[in-house]
């Protein structure tokens, strides 16, 4: 028995077989029309149209893979498109979509001279020193005015520096993160003194401030900017040289941990220098706060501002609540409210509260950073 004429040749893959064309009626003039042969649906084509802008501006398949990952496409999803993983799917999209021939950033552009950036990063510390010295050299009613003016100048300077550098916050940054950061810095300057005075029944007038902590944190903006820039540059290089998403994750995670360790060294140097200049301050609390603020800003710069906002808000609210319980404990019958804070401060000193609160918050954000900043999608423009 002979094969049916419309049967496919032996060995033809099932996805290459075309169904028989339906009978096409002749045209009115009597001529026949060529039958249109419709092949199977192309799911990759639909995906290509859905992410066409990403595919057109990508400079390599890995950038497409990172974008697909950010949109929730996993290896299991890629299997439905008949690909073994997301990178294999990205390679097909890269080959099928025409794009601009604009080359990627060169290593020279990514590693532009950063001497100006380093000097720019020292500006908040310089303004903070001038504010602290202004408060120390004035007396009476002039001192609060000088302090308020110095705090305003420091806030404006810090905002300008962070807005232009590698720690500039991405879209979606919430005012709660700004307010939380401002409160945490204000507590570093005078919160420990206020807490100690409150537990003693005060404050009676002005309470002692900690210029070493706030000045050290202000100067730590410079190593924070430098480390963030270094991490971004090196991560982008690893993104360009990696063959797949798993390879990039395995290479970027140690890079992030090394950058954290490098920033810790810079933070220790800044806090040590200011403590030598202004006398002993609360070192542990300032260290924890510095790591917390840097991790929050690094996450925000890479598009993960929601986690940073939540943690900063919780940390600031916890410190504020601790102070409130101390004052609320003076009300009749409310003495037990102040007992937890009183026990903590009595055992470890007033600096134990910010060290504990900011330390736990910093660890939470670092864990989040290790999880999300190791993804390729965190280092590509979406």
The kind and range of the H/E element at 269 are helix 245-278
Number of residues in the chain: 382
The backbone torsions φ and ψ at residue 52, rounded to the nearest 5 degrees and listed phi first, read: -65, -40
More confidently predicted of 342 and 83: 342
pLDDT beyond 60 at 68: yes
Per-residue confidence band for 368, with pLDDT thresholds at 50, 70 and 90: very high
191-215 pLDDT per residue, tens: 888 998 888 888 887 788 888 999 9
345-365 pLDDT per residue, tens: 989 989 899 999 999 999 999
pLDDT beyond 90 at 218: yes
Rounded Cα–Cα distance for residues 296 and 106 (Å)? 29
**Listed residue (74, 100, 104) closest to 381, CA to CA:** 104
Query: What does the DSSP assignment read for 143-200?
Result: HHHHHHHHHHHHHHHHHHHHHHSTT---TT--HHHHHHHHHHHHHHHHHHHHHHHHHT
Dihedral of the CA atoms 239, 243, 249, 251 (nearest 10)?
Answer: -80
- In whole numbers, what is the pLDDT of the chain averaged over residues? 78
221-238 pLDDT per residue, tens: 999 999 999 898 888 887
Exposure string for 108-143, b = 16+ CB within 10 A, e = fewer: eeeeeebeebeebbebbbebbbebbebbeeeeeeee
70-92 pLDDT per residue, tens: 777 766 776 677 676 776 676 66
**Listed residue (346, 218, 196) closest to 286, CA to CA:** 218
Provide mean pLDDT across the span 12-30: 41
pLDDT of residue 157: 92
Q: For residue 347, what is the DSSP state?
A: H
Rounded Cα–Cα distance for residues 122 and 119 (Å)? 5
């Amino acid at each position: 028995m002979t094969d049916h004429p419309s049967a496919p040749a032996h060995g033809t893959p099932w996805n290459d077989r075309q169904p028989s064309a339906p009978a096409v009626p002749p045209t009115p003039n009597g001529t026949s029309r060529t039958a249109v042969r419709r092949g199977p649906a192309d799911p990759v084509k639909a995906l290509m149209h859905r992410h066409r802008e990403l595919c057109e501006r990508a400079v390599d398949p890995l950038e497409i893979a990172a974008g697909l990952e950010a949109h929730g496409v996993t290896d299991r999803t890629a299997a439905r498109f008949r690909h073994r993983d997301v990178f294999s799917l990205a390679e097909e999209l890269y080959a099928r979509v025409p794009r601009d021939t604009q080359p990627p950033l060169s290593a020279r552009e990514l590693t532009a001279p950063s001497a100006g950036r380093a000097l720019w990063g020292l500006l908040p510390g310089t303004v903070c020193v001038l504010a602290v010295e202004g408060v120390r050299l004035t007396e009476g009613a002039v001192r609060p005015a000088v302090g308020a003016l110095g705090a305003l100048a420091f806030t404006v300077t810090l905002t300008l520096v962070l807005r232009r550098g590698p720690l500039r916050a991405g879209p979606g940054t919430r005012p709660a993160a700004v307010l939380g950061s401002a409160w945490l810095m204000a507590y570093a300057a005078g919160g420990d003194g206020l807490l100690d005075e409150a537990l003693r029944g005060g404050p009676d007038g002005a309470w002692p401030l900690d210029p070493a902590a706030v000045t050290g944190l202000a100067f730590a903006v410079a190593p924070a900017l430098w480390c963030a820039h270094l991490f971004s540059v090196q991560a982008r290089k690893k993104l360009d040289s990696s063959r797949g998403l798993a390879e990039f994750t395995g290479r970027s995670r140690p890079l992030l941990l090394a950058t954290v360790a490098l920033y810790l060294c810079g933070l220790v140097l800044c806090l040590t220098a200011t403590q030598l200049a202004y006398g002993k301050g609360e070192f542990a609390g300032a260290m924890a706060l510095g790591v917390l603020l840097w991790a929050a800003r690094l996450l925000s710069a890479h598009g993960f501002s929601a986690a940073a906002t939540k943690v900063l808000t919780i940390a600031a609210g916890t410190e504020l609540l601790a102070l409130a319980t101390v004052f609320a404990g003076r009300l009749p019958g409310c003495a037990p409210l102040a007992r937890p804070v009183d026990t903590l401060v009595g055992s470890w000193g007033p600096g134990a509260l910010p060290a504990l609160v900011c330390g736990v918050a910093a660890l939470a954000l670092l864990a989040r950073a290790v999880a999300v900043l190791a993804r390729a999608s965190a280092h590509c423009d979406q």
